[in-house]
Structure 1
Amino acid sequence: MIPRRRVALPLVAAVAAGGIVVLAGCAPERTDPVQALTFPAPTPAAVAAPSTSLAPLRVVTLGDSLMSGAGLPLDEAWPALLAQREDVSLTNLACGGMGFVVTGECGTAYAGFSPAIAALQPDLIIVQSSSNDFWEDSDEIRADTDDTVAQLHDAAPGARIVGLSTIWNDDPDVPDDTATTSDALRDAVDSVGGAFVDVGQPLVGHPEWLQDDDVHPTARGQKAIEQTVVSALQDAGVLP
């Protein structure tokens, strides 16, 4: 068993009276720091009778450029599509090039967003293992994934942590590294009482759902991911 080691936390969140500023939503075409991308739950139309609905589920998503919607308008990334549900208020902390091990374009790996999550105190944290960690040492992937998930749990102890498996592109020959990164996250979320959801490979067999770089999904590809993720989370009892 590999001893758990603390992952360094670069300063990526500044908490002030006015809110939270983080290096989030970065993608190849967005290299400057931006505010956390928060999508409030839609406001229901006025009704004659008093509303008895519960407060929307407060969700934070943490992932790489597939989650940030690289090459697309920010509102076409799959977390933004998820946020269109009436029962979800969502903040997307995804960043291009990032993984549990690899430092992304926001200057940090996933662990660096723990301060932002501590400030947000969500009900649900959805974190996805990343192909950016492919070709890294498998022991390091496991150690950093385990440690990062522990930090997320410590940052928001009241939140449920849900891990999503690694999504590859349209190639049916999915690399073995996909199992390495996904299994590491499965074990990590299990260790903190979270849940792991295998979303499969929603892009396989659909080259038309990828942009010209053959890596990042088009708007249609993002919609396919969102539909797959929502269905999987509903089957797992995470979303209603």
Structure 2
Amino acid sequence: MARRTDGGVPGGSRRSTAQTRRRRAVPAIALGAMCLGIAGLLVMLPAVSDACQPVPATSDFSAEQVADAIAPGSDVLIVGDSYTTGRGSYDDVHGWAQDLVSERQWDATINGYPGTGYVNPGRGRSSRAVYLSRIEQRAALTPDLVIVQGSQNDWLTDSATLEKTVERTLRQAEVQWPDAVVVTIGPSAPQPRAEATTGINDAVAAGASAVGVPYIDAIDGQWFTAMNSGSYAATDQQHLNDAGYLYLAGKIDAELEQLATQPDGEQCL
């Protein structure tokens, strides 16, 4: 399965071949029995937080549309920062995106550029490197699925500005590719870096919600904790190592699968 990778250079592109890698009596006695029955029933019922609850729809896409978009062979565009590039991996160019593309057998354009974000243009300081510009530059593509990842690099941007920029960026993706499913992934740094990205996470989540784009929230899901971060963090403690990226890819894969299988208007809280 072919995989197209930008290699961290805005506007650039190169092709490479990815190999598929795989992967629940008396009244007193009667009353006591009734109490026992109720207690037993309560034990059997899942906690509210573990059950799927009807909620207002927050996404413009049906489960069926998502299922089609994530199917093997789908055309996928992934836009992100150094996590999408794979910095911290054994070769610095093999991260969660490459793992997920290989697992899902997608025909993907992986557009990762270190240091960038919705607002942050990275070291080059070029406006062409922010997510909105990079999405606009790829208008000729016809993706079934668009994934926008990040961005912990927007830590110097105030929440109101970041939220508005996220909304504008994701809305552009929806207008540009009206038949594509658009999904965004928030900051996914290991601890202790994750603690500094909660404000970013809230702003990106709010921007995605305003557009009706599904938001994959690694912080709310507690994917990276004080217990597991030591095993998943790269030597710089800012990025992930190979095991961390593989773990992140698996988490994202599970979230996409849930979006594709849960009934419309129902959400697992």
Fold match (TM-score > 0.5): yes
1:55-94 correspondence runs (5 A): 56-72=73-89, 73=91, 76-94=94-112
> SS where residue 76 of structure 1 aligns?
coil
| One of 188, 198, 201 as aligned partner of 1:182 | 201
Contact 1:129 1:181 in 2 (8 A): no
Using the TM superposition, name which of 56-65 and 188-197 deviates more: 188-197
Contact 1:68 1:74 in 2 (8 A): yes
Cα–Cα, structure 1 residues 104 and 39, in superposed 2: closer, same or farther, change >3 Å?
Answer: farther
> SS where residue 169 of structure 1 aligns?
coil
Question: Percent identical across equivalent pairs?
Answer: 23
* 1:237 counterpart residue number: 260
Higher relative contact order, structure no. (Cα contacts within 8 Å, ≥ 6 residues apart): 2
CA shift, 1:143, in A, is: 1.6
- Which runs of 5 or more residues in structure 1 are unaligned? 1-20, 43-53
Hey, what's the Cα distance between the residues in 2 that align with 1:117 and 1:66? 20
2:173 maps to a residue whose letter is L
* 1:211 counterpart residue number: 234
* 1:25 counterpart residue number: 7
Hey, what's the Cα distance between the residues in 2 that align with 1:56 and 1:155? 21
* 2:143 counterpart residue number: 122
1:54-96 deviation digits (Å, cap 9, x = unpaired): 8722111111111110143366211111111354222111110
> SS where residue 182 of structure 2 aligns?
strand
Contact 2:146 2:183 in 1 (8 A): yes
CA shift, 1:111, in A, is: 0.9
Hey, what's the Cα distance between the residues in 2 that align with 1:36 and 1:192? 31
CA shift, 1:37, in A, is: 5.9
Contact 1:59 1:89 in 2 (8 A): yes
> SS where residue 56 of structure 1 aligns?
coil
CA shift, 1:193, in A, is: 3.5
Count matched residues.
201
CA shift, 1:155, in A, is: 2.0
Cα–Cα, structure 1 residues 97 and 172, in superposed 2: closer, same or farther, change >3 Å?
Answer: closer
Cα–Cα, structure 1 residues 228 and 55, in superposed 2: closer, same or farther, change >3 Å?
Answer: closer
Using the TM superposition, name which of 92-101 and 134-143 deviates more: 134-143
1:34-73 correspondence runs (5 A): 34-36=12-14, 56-72=73-89, 73=91
> SS where residue 119 of structure 1 aligns?
coil
Contact 1:62 1:126 in 2 (8 A): yes
Contact 2:170 2:213 in 1 (8 A): no
CA shift, 1:238, in A, is: 7.6
Hey, what's the Cα distance between the residues in 2 that align with 1:32 and 1:99? 12
Contact 2:193 2:238 in 1 (8 A): no
CA shift, 1:102, in A, is: 0.6
Q: In angstroms, what is the RMSD of aligned CA positions?
A: 3.0
| Rg larger in structure | 2
Contact 2:167 2:211 in 1 (8 A): no
Contact 1:124 1:159 in 2 (8 A): yes
Tell me, yes or no, if structure 1 residue 156 matches structure 2 residue 138.
Answer: no
- Which runs of 5 or more residues in structure 2 are unaligned? 21-70, 263-269
**If the length of structure 2 is used for normalisation, what is the TM-score?**
0.64
Hey, what's the Cα distance between the residues in 2 that align with 1:129 and 1:210? 17
Cα–Cα, structure 1 residues 166 and 71, in superposed 2: closer, same or farther, change >3 Å?
Answer: closer
